[in-house]
């Protein structure tokens, strides 16, 4: 009988020791679990934002040049129709329209190759002035036309370029993603170790509880 009591006490002490470890490890594990989840979420959000920014930059790059192409095409169609009508009407100022078209064509070529936003804005201003002159010359021939569609597209191109520059000048987020991943790796090492120790101590407690019941 005394031997059974002693054995029970010994087993209880062993169980108590394991439960002491479990209390300590579970507390740290719970804290690390929260930190790990927060770090993973932060990493995912940073990478998601990086991906969205890179995708937007690609779109804006294409959109920016597409707008200039569309503006040129629309402008050429507009001038072509007006010149055709002026030729049919034998308008005396058709050469003025041709001269304006030639000047705009030069500015459009410079726009396509421009990388500087200030130069680009100056070129767009010059094109707008020439479009106004075009409208005035067309009115002299009795034609009511507007270059507003062309201007709107040029403004869209300029806005896209400004947004592109602002995104390209944003602070690099790669460092933040690397720091978050580094923190995740550091936490995961301890987190996984604790998980294994908790599992081991739980198994030990279950074993000794079973042994205790069998005495």
Distance from chain centroid for Cα 146: 37
Distances (CA, A) of 184 to 164, 175, 197, 198: 32, 14, 20, 20
Compute the average pLDDT of residues 155-172: 86
pLDDT number for residue 106:
95
Please tell me the pTM assigned to this model: 0.67
* Residue 60 and residue 160 in contact, taking contact as beta carbons nearer than 8 Å: yes
Domain boundaries, the chain: 2-214
Compute the average pLDDT of residues 11-37: 90
pLDDT number for residue 32:
92
Element (H, E) at 211: helix 174-214
Report pLDDT digits (tens) over 55-114: 998 898 888 889 999 999 999 999 999 999 999 989 999 999 999 999 999 999 998 887
């Amino acid at each position: 009988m005394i031997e059974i009591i002693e054995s029970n006490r010994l087993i209880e002490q062993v169980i108590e020791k394991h439960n002491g470890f479990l209390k300590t490890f579970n507390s740290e594990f719970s804290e690390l679990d929260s930190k790990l989840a927060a770090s993973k979420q932060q990493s995912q959000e940073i990478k998601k934002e990086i991906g969205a920014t890179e995708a937007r930059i690609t779109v804006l790059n294409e959109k920016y040049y597409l707008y200039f192409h569309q503006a040129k095409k629309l402008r050429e169609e507009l001038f072509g129709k007006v010149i055709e009508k002026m030729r049919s009407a034998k308008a005396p100022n058709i050469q003025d329209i041709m001269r304006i078209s030639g000047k705009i064509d030069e500015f459009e070529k410079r726009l396509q190759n421009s990388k500087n936003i200030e130069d680009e804005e100056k070129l767009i201003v010059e094109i707008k002035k020439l479009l106004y002159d075009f409208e005035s010359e067309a009115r002299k021939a009795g034609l009511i036309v507007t270059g507003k569609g062309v201007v709107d597209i040029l403004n869209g191109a300029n806005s896209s370029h400004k947004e592109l520059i602002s995104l390209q000048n944003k602070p690099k987020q790669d460092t933040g993603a690397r720091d978050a991943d580094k923190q995740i790796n550091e936490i995961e090492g301890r987190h996984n170790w604790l998980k294994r120790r908790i599992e081991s101590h739980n198994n030990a407690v279950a074993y000794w509880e079973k042994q205790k019941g069998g005495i």
